[in-house]
Structure 1
Amino acid sequence: MSSTQSSSVTTAEKPAAAGFITNIQQKDPALLPDCSKMTWDEAKKTGISRNQWRKQKRIADKLEKRPIKRQEERERKKSQRKLEKENGTFQPKPQKYRMSESSNKVRIAIDLSFSDYMVLADTRNALTQVGYCYSSNRKTPNPFQFYACGVDDKVTEIAKSIGVFDHWDMHIKPEKIDKVFNKSEVVYLCAESDNVLEEFDETKVYIIGGLVDHNHHKGLCYGIAQENGYGHARLPIEENMKLDSRKVLTINHVFDILVNYYVTKDWKKALLTVIPERKRKLPNDNQKDTNNKELKLECDGDNTTDDDEAGKEDTVE
C-alpha cells in the first residue's frame, strides 16, 4: 500500500465530526451522545473523547449503584437511631410539612429556562440552590406553593445526576413560565425594577430567575419581564439595610428572604436573618463607601463571593 493510500485510510477511519463534537463538549458535555453502555471502540466512532467516555461510564455506574447505597445508608441510620435511643441521646428529625396541608397559598416559581445561557457546572449550581430552597420550604410550617418551570430534558438529565427533583413535594413543569401561568399573575423579581415588593398577593406568582451566569447576562430577567409584559418587582433591600459593597444574592438567599418575611411580616428582620453579616455595611464604615452604592438583588450579577459553599454563593438571575 502506498503512503498516499495509507494516509487516505487513516483519514477515513477518523470520525469526521470528532472535532466538532469536542468543541460542543467543552461548552456543554450534556449535549454529547450517551456512550456509557458502549465499549471504547464503539464510543470513539461518535467522536467523543476517551476522557468524556470514561466520565459517562463513571456517572452511569454511580447511578446504577445509587439504590444499593441508599439502602445501605437507611440501614446505617436505622442502627444509629436504635443506638441513640438506647443511650438516651436520640433527637427526632425536624418535622417536614407538605404543600397540600399548608394554609399558605402564595406561589413561588424558579424559572429554570436559562440552561442555554449556562455551562454545565453553572446549571448544576443553580439546581443545587433550588435544592436549598426546597429544603427551606419543607421545614417551614406553612410552605409556599413551590414550582420549578422550564425543566426541559437537558435540565432533567443534570438534575437526575445530582438527585434533584427525586420524589420532591413541588410542582415540576417542563413548560416555560408563560405556559404555566397567566401573564397577569406573574411578578418577576429583578433588581432593575422600580416596583418594590411590599407584601404578598395570593393571586400572583413570584418568579425567581434560576440563572448562574458570572455577570455575563446583566438585566436578562428584567428584559424578559418587559418583553413578555410581566409584572416585576424588587425586594425592599435598600429601604431596610445597606451592604458593605455591591453584592448579589443567590437563588436560595432570595427564597429564604421570602420565607422569613412570610413568617415574620417584617422585611428588615427577614433580610437580617438571611443576608450574611459580612455583606452588611457597619455604622463606622461610612467612609469606606463614599458613593453610597446602591444595594441590589442582582438577578444576573457577578458570581464572585467571599466563601466557597458548594453552590450556595453563586449568583442568581
Structure 2
Amino acid sequence: MDDGADEVRSQPVIDADELVVGYPSADEPVIDGQTLAVPKGEVTALIGPNGSGKSTLLKGLANRLEPNDGRVLLDGRRIDSFESKELARKLGRLSQQNTAPDTISVEELVERGRYPHRGFFESQSDGDKEAVDEAITMAGVEHLRDREVGTLSGGQTQLVWIAMALAQDTDVLLLDEPTTFLDPRHQLEVMRVVGTLRDESETTVVLVLHDISQAARYADSVVALKQGSIHASGPPEVVVTEDLLADVFDIDAKVIETEHGPVMVPLNPIDANHPSQTGETEVLQRGDGSRNGQE
C-alpha cells in the first residue's frame, strides 16, 4: 500500500472529545472526560475489566447514549446532527443482546439490515438482494440461509446477526462483545469476518473484547480502559504488556511475543489481602518502579 493510502487509513473517522457518558439512574458518569480518535479503515479493540466502561463508551460513540458533556464527531460532523436513517447508513452497531422471532428465517433476518436504504413502502431492490447475498457469504452462513433462527446454535446465531450488520453496508461497524460465550471455532469465524471487513472493504471496526490475546492478534489499535478512563491506547505490542495487565486488570501475567502478536498468559490475581500471594506479587501490587505510572 502506498504512502497516500496509508495516510487515508490513519485518519480518524470517529473523534470523541472530552466525552462524558453515564446513565440517568447513576449519580456519577461511567465515562468521564475521555478523548479518543478511531483511525479510519482499521480495527480498534476496547479492553478492560468488567465495569471499566467499554460498552458504555461504545454506546456513546454510536449516539445510543446522549453525552453529558463533550462531543463525538463522525467524519468531522457531530454525530447527534445525523437523522436516524442517515446515521444508520454510515454507522452500524451490534449490541450484546439481540432478539428476533424464532420462526424468522436467516435470510429474512439479514434482509432487515437493509432498512436504512429503503423507504417505508419500497420493496427490496436488486441492490438490496446483492447486499444480502454478499453479507451471508462473508459471514459464512450460506448453508443456514433457509433455517429458522430459533433452530441455530449460539455461534451460528451470532454469525447471522453479524451478517445482518454487514448487510447494512456501513463505513463504520461497532461490535459489543461479539465473541463472548462462543466456542473457539465460532470466535475465529467472527474475527475472520472482522479481518475481511478491514482488508477487503476498508470498513472501520470498533469492538469490545474480553480475550486480550485475541485483541492483540486481530486489532490494529488497542484501547485499555479502567474505571471509566482510557489508561493506554496504541498498537497491541505497545499496550498489551505485563505492566499494563498488572495496572489495569490487577493480574500477574506473562506476555509472550509470537508471530501472531502478543499472547497473554495469566498467572495470579494481584491482591495484597490474599494470604497466598507471594512476595513478588506484593512488590507488583505496591510498585517497584517498573509497574507504576503507566497512563
TM-score by shorter chain over 0.5: no
Of structures 1 and 2, the larger Rg is shown by: 1
Relative contact order: is structure 1 or structure 2 higher (C-alpha 8 Å, sep ≥ 6)? Answer: 2
Higher strand share: 2
Give me the TM-score of the superposition, normalised by structure 2: 0.30
Identify the structure with the greater helix proportion: 1
